[in-house]
Amino acid sequence: MKILVINGVNMNFLGIRNKEVYGNKDYNYLLKMIEEKAKELKVEVECFQSNHEGAIVDKLQEAYFEDVAGIVINPAAFTHTSVAIRDALESLGCIKVEVHISNISDREDFRHKSLTQPVCNGQIAGLGLDGYTLAMEYIVKNVTGR
């Protein structure tokens, strides 16, 4: 079973940008955390990050043709602006979980609306980096029943 983890714009700047909101852990720490959870769950994981909307759409479209059981996606700022990413997500039949490190509902008004969440199975927000591993557990449980 394969899980695809997609991170959007500025996520490669974890630990650098807005530490008071996103914490001190860097992007490599997040990747290691995800890889460790994948080993624990006995699943294959692929992580992808881009600051470019079209590259994320391309990766989502590739997932359509691969045997991807689920997608964990943190579109970051694209959450609030990208109809293109939303439409690509909507095209996929696998389980999709939107993740946000911060609680987007407790932030600036423009961050309250997610264009991508309505085409996902669920959203985890405000639980820090743990949201990624919780989303992975959800996918495995709902695909395998374990």
Q: Compute the residue count for the chain.
A: 146
Whether 22 sits among the annotated catalytic residues: the reply is yes
In sequence order, what are the residues at sequence separation of 6 or more whose Cβ sits closer than 8 angstroms to the Cβ of residue 60?
6, 71, 85, 88, 89, 91, 92
CB of 73 closer than 8 Å to CB of 96:
yes
Amino acid at 36: E
The annotated binding site is made up of: 74, 80, 87, 101-102, 111
Residues contributing to the annotated binding site for substrate: 74, 80, 87, 101-102, 111
Is 100 annotated as catalytic? Answer: yes
Which of 22, 27, 112, 138 is the catalytic position?
22
Residue 137 tokens read as 């557990």
Q: Among residues 27, 52, 64, 100, which one is catalytic?
A: 100
Catalytic machinery residues: 22, 100
